A = this chain, B = another copy of it.
Amino acid sequence: MSQTQTFTVIGMTCSHCVASVTEEIQEIPGVQDVAIDLPTGAVNVTSIEPLDDAAVKAAVEEAGYQFA
């Protein structure tokens, strides 16, 4: 079982930004896949169990971006 949640991240401007956010979110336990759409800032996270918004927010901020 897995599900995908969509979050929005503000401030990503290029593929390096996408890589930084992807990397941080992938470190959250249970995360299986991270797919980011740069133009919209949509971050689709697939995980074994539903993720806490707080954990994703912390990862996004650790990467240096804003969680919306």
Contact with B along A13-29 (1 / 0, CB 8 A): 11011011000000000
Number of this chain's copies in the complex? 2
Could you tell me how many residues of chain A have their Cβ less than 8 Å away from some Cβ of chain B? 6
A interface: dominant SS: helix
| In the complex, chain B residues whose CB is within 8 Å of the CB of A17 | 14, 16
Tell me the minimal C-beta distance from A11 to chain B in angstroms.
8
User: Least Cβ distance of A23 to chain B in Å?
Assistant: 12
Known interface pairs A14-B16, A16-B16, A16-B19; 4 further A-B residue pairs with C-beta atoms within 8 A, sorted by A's residue number: A13-B13, A14-B14, A14-B17, A16-B20
A interface residues, Cβ below 8 angstroms from B: 13-14, 16-17, 19-20
